Structure 1
Amino acid sequence: MILTGLMVSRIFAPEPAAASLRLSWVKAGLEKCGARMRVLTTRPPAGIEAEDAPEITRVPVIRDSEGYVKGYLSYASFDIQAFLRILVSPRQDFILVEPPPTTGTVARVACCLRRTPYFWYAADVWSDATEGMEVPGIVKKTVRALESFAIRGAQGCIAVSDGVAQRIEALGARRVRVIPNGADTEIFTPEVEPLSDADRESMGIAHPYFVYAGTASQWQGAELFARAFEIFWETNPSVQLLYLTRGDAVAVLEDVAARLKERADSRGMNVQPIIVHSTVSPQEAAQWQHEAIASCVSIQPGVGYDIAYPTKALAALSTGTPVLYAGVGPAAQDIRTHELGLTVAYDEHAVAHAMTQLEQRNSEGTLSQTWDEDRLHQWVVDNRSMKAAGEQVAAFIAESIIEKTR
């Protein structure tokens, strides 16, 4: 049985994001199963070129100042087009829908009119996250209602963790399959091309460094590492912190970086202790992660994302780099249990102390003895491969469609 399917998502490769890589592997998994897939997504932000592909439709949308499709106006600019295109496009055997809940809502209505089953990809729970934000109560109720509406209409839901599965079941999900997020172990590998002296010079890296590679939004609390680094840097001025990021926290990061730069200048040090750079391609991110002392990852507690599993941790581990994890979430348990790095409370002094431990091992040459890069990479291959996750999603959708047609 050859299935036809449509993926509807406001984000897709080559836009640099974990969701882009995840959905690319899901598409590959479905095609490997014999499905004929199409994708409806957005044109990538300025500066990113997308190769022409006949099966991918990219529509223009409104992006925010950071280049994200984020906020209700941005969402609407995609959702309206998604609704109309689902209505007029050739009928599909199924549609796979990526959040936000507004996209899920219009997809449910359009799929109902077309009598097409759809699946909901729950990478997180938006209404829980909204509860931790300082927004009016009516907004929180609306987001929860929209998310529940999208989830209840789905033939099946993919949840990235047991915690997410429990939450979407409480919102009305009928059939849930837990398929954890993964890393692209073919891009993120210890075998990446080494950084050149020119690469380091152009980035401003002159010393060993920690890296934060990924989105810096409210729920991650990435500014914690910059503030902790201020403390750490006082006794470790020959170490740098590199952010490859975009998001809500960038302005705060730049303020801390400027403050620390002034301190370095006052001491006659020609160095930028904290470098804040925009996101780069996955291939380039893998290079910077691989050569870092450790990769910084955080989940800020109490803002609605305590059950999230940040894929940036998996990407770093897959390059063979240990993770310095601050905060809460299931990733912390994996890192502790399998000795994949250090975990600390979401606290500046705790992070600074962990940085000191990691730098000491790096300067002594014992870092790789404690966290062998091949072992870290193999753990991701064995437990959190994005390729395997994509194939599991494909199998779940295929079996669900086949069961319905019996």
Structure 2
Amino acid sequence: MRIVIVSRIFTPEPAAASFLLHATAEAFAEAGHEVEVLTTTVPAGPAARPLTGVRVRRAPVKRDRQGYVRGYVSYLSFDIPVFFRLMFSRRADVYLVEPPPTTGAVVRVASALRRTPYVYDAADLWSDAAGVVTSSSFVLGALRWVERFAMRGAAHAFAISQGLIDRMRQIGIATPATAVGFGTDVSAFRYSPQPPPVDPHFVYGGSYSEWHGAEVFVEAFADVQRVYPGARLTFVGNGSEQPRLRELAAGLGLSGVEFLEPVAPETLAEMLSAATASLASLRPNAGYDYAFTTKVYASLVSGCPVIFSGTGPTGPFLRGESAHHPVGAAVEWSAEAAASAMLAAADAPLPEPSRKALADWAAARFSLRAVAGRIVAGTEAVVASER
């Protein structure tokens, strides 16, 4: 079949959605299908990894000051042109669309006009998360309507967890859905032995938006530096909260806090392989209590234990696995709890043999290829049922 993937984000941009879509496009091609990706041009940075049998077509888009496609103007700068790109391109057998909901809504309209089914990558529910950044009932109501419209028209949805499917049902989305799980690209993220840091080094890799609540680690780092003055805290990636985090670090008089632009997955894996621990967070009561912070997978397959602060299923996962593997720690969302976990990691860093064993175990269990295979199988079933 011919499949068109529609997404504002794709590799080489370092994000969970990029890695999943890359693996999915690759899996479709390996299954013998014709694959085309409609996405955006990327800012200067890491080069895209080649994809055999996949045609990637990029178009300009408006990005925010951090270089990210974020906000309604940015979304529409992709959504409106992609509607015409779909309407005037060769007909596909199926579309696979990635949020935001505005893109899903545009694809639903194009899908109806072209009489082509589409499937939806339901990584999360944007209308739930929006409550963190706005209290406007009009904005929240409009976004909920658009998200329902986008997802209800899909022939099938692929969700990260059963909890997300349950939440979809609660807000009136009855679209057939499959929980496909998540993982990471083990061809890019892998353990590579690195010299241990002289002083503790903590790495937060990935996005840090309002609902992540990453400020908890900046506040906790003040306690860490009182014990380890040479400790470092590095944020790698895009984040709408970066100005606020910079201001907070300056206000606390912290040294050793740095913010790096996105790097290639292989480079981030090397940083994680050397770090004392990686950091991940999810602010409680931000509308994402059912979400799993997928950045932990990239850390584990890089041999790096994770310190998670917050709510959702990530905590139970880490606490459950910690009885058998040195995966890290999960604590409540507070600076005191986060500082305690960071100091414990600094006091007893994981030795090299244990890091390699952790990476080997995680790579065997959390490869994105299995997730991509489930999406391919589900999409093939959708197309077969439409014929």
**Normalising to structure 1: TM-score of the pair?**
0.89
Alignment partner, residue 155 of structure 2: 155
Alignment partner, residue 301 of structure 1: 284
Alignment partner, residue 346 of structure 1: 333
* Residue-by-residue CA offset, 1:134-156 (whole Å, 9 max, x unaligned): 23101101111011011111000
- Is 1:166 aligned to residue 166 of structure 2? yes
How far 1:259 sits from its partner (Å)? 4.4
- Is 1:130 aligned to residue 130 of structure 2? yes
Alignment partner, residue 368 of structure 2: 386
* 1:13 paired residue among 6, 11, 14: 11
Alignment partner, residue 333 of structure 1: 316
Q: In structure 1, how many angstroms separate the alpha carbons of the residues matched to 2:236 and 2:302? A: 16
Q: 1:278 to 1:10 in 2, by over 3 A?
A: same
- Is 1:92 aligned to residue 92 of structure 2? yes
Counterpart contact for 2:189–2:266, Cα < 8 Å: yes
The SS at the match of 1:157 is: strand
Counterpart contact for 2:128–2:287, Cα < 8 Å: yes
Larger Rg: 1
How far 1:373 sits from its partner (Å)? 2.1
How far 1:56 sits from its partner (Å)? 1.1
Q: In structure 1, how many angstroms separate the alpha carbons of the residues matched to 2:121 and 2:271? A: 30
Alignment partner, residue 39 of structure 2: 41
* 2:344 paired residue among 337, 348, 357: 357
Q: In structure 2, how many angstroms separate the alpha carbons of the residues matched to 1:213 and 1:334? A: 19
Q: 1:174 to 1:256 in 2, by over 3 A?
A: closer
* 2:304 paired residue among 321, 329, 345: 321
Q: In structure 2, how many angstroms separate the alpha carbons of the residues matched to 1:51 and 1:377? A: 22
- Between the two proteins, what is the percent identity of the paired residues? 37
Counterpart contact for 2:11–2:49, Cα < 8 Å: no
Give unpaired runs (5+ residues) of structure 1.
Answer: 264-271
Q: In structure 1, how many angstroms separate the alpha carbons of the residues matched to 2:49 and 2:19? A: 15
Matches within 5 A, 1:56-67: 56-67=56-67
Q: In structure 1, how many angstroms separate the alpha carbons of the residues matched to 2:42 and 2:245? A: 25
Give unpaired runs (5+ residues) of structure 2.
Answer: none
How far 1:50 sits from its partner (Å)? 4.7
Q: 1:301 to 1:294 in 2, by over 3 A?
A: same
Counterpart contact for 1:5–1:35, Cα < 8 Å: yes
Alignment partner, residue 189 of structure 2: 188
* Residue-by-residue CA offset, 1:100-129 (whole Å, 9 max, x unaligned): 010000100010000000000011111111
Q: Partner amino acid for 1:17?
A: A
Counterpart contact for 2:308–2:331, Cα < 8 Å: yes
Counterpart contact for 1:183–1:380, Cα < 8 Å: no
The SS at the match of 2:211 is: coil
Q: In structure 2, how many angstroms separate the alpha carbons of the residues matched to 1:93 and 1:114? A: 10
- Is 1:227 aligned to residue 219 of structure 2? yes
Counterpart contact for 2:46–2:264, Cα < 8 Å: no
Alignment partner, residue 269 of structure 1: none
**Normalising to structure 2: TM-score of the pair?**
0.93
Matches within 5 A, 1:63-82: 63-82=63-82
How far 1:307 sits from its partner (Å)? 1.4
Alignment partner, residue 266 of structure 1: none
The SS at the match of 1:304 is: coil
